[in-house]
Structure 1
Amino acid sequence: MKGKCSIFVITAVLMFTVAVTAFAAPGRGGSGGWGLGSPYQRMYNPATVETVSGEVISVDRITPMKRMGAGIHIQLKTDRETVSVHLGPAWYIERQDARIEKGNTIEVKGSRVTFSGKPAIIAAEVKKGDALLKLRDEGGIPVWSGWRR
């Protein structure tokens, strides 16, 4: 009886350790590096928020930083420039009703940053016609941080 109890305890401890390790690993479970307090999240600066509009010339999946999950990124051609716009994690963006596609005319409100040495915008809102895709609040907190709670 003692042998079976010991095996049960050891198995339970191992399962608990594996579960904790899996959920704590960057890029696994949770927000995949896109959440509150992550290095990527800290790039968003409410002081540099601006609104731009133009035509979507590409929609791509990218991994912005090491150990992050995939994200959705667009190239937006405005009157002045073509700028990279980071929308958010693919697992969140792909589950939204509002679809952003090549050729769409949209308006983006977000924080202008320098990413990999080039100008980019981390989006807070995207308007497409009457549809509004809300991605962050005024302080830059991602809406997916509390998703499904």
Structure 2
Amino acid sequence: MKRWHLISLGVGMAVFVGCTCISSAYAQGRGQGFRPCPYAPYQCPVTGVCKPMTVTGTVSRVFTETLDDKAYPGMAIKVDSKDKGQIHVHLGPVWYLERQEFDLSPGQEVTVQGICVDEAGKTRLVAARVATGDNVLLLRDLEGRPMWEAWRKR
């Protein structure tokens, strides 16, 4: 009887230790573990279509969007400009923008610099720099690489 008691106690301890190790391996704390970045530097799919653009206007809407099924939700705004009409501006992932000390709300005057993409007659802007008053939010470098990427090529 003593032998079966020791064997069952040993098996129970092995299961407990195994479950503890496995559960901690799959646990992902917010901001502490490895999180692959689903965003790649923007590459224009058609040569000559993407061009630099600057828009000045009033923010009419701030919302979230998902560009791909594998991507994290991104933040976007609609800007009403006097000369170009309403422009859809993609800013970047929500998790990155939450960490910035930058607040956008409808009615604010903004100046957005970025890469213009014409898709099916609609103008979209991938923002590289957003300015409101004295505040500036840098989102991408001159080559279109996002600031939230850890490694940068020289």
Q: TM-score, normalised by structure 1?
A: 0.71
Structure ID, larger Rg: 2
Unmatched segments (≥5 aa) in structure 2? 1-10, 29-33
Of 66, 74, 79, which residue of structure 1 is paired with 2:69?
A: 66
Residue 145 in structure 1 maps to residue 149 in structure 2? yes
Tell me what 1:76 maps to: 79
Residue 134 in structure 1 maps to residue 146 in structure 2? no
Point out the structure with the larger helix share.
1
Displacement of 1:132: 0.5
Task: Give aligned pairs, total.
Answer: 134
Q: What's the RMSD between the two structures over aligned residues? A: 3.2
Aligned pairs for 1:8-23 (under 5 A) are none
- 1:116 and 1:85 map into 2 onto residues whose CA distance is 16
The 3-state SS of whatever aligns with 2:148 is: helix
Query: For the structure 1 residues 107 and 59, does the alpha-carbon distance in structure 2 shift closer, same or farther, using more than 3 Å as the test?
Result: same
The 3-state SS of whatever aligns with 1:91 is: helix
1:67-99 CA-partner distances (Å, limit 9, x unpaired): 111110000000321010000000011221121
Moved more, 87-96 or 115-124: 115-124
Of 118, 121, 126, which residue of structure 1 is paired with 2:122?
A: 118
Q: What percent of counterpart residues are identical? A: 31
1:10-59 CA-partner distances (Å, limit 9, x unpaired): 88x9779968xx9xxxxxx63552x3x3xxx43458x6111111000000
The 3-state SS of whatever aligns with 2:60 is: strand
Unmatched segments (≥5 aa) in structure 1? 23-28
Structure 1 runs of 4+ aligned residues shifted over 2 Å read 13-19, 29-32, 41-45, 114-118
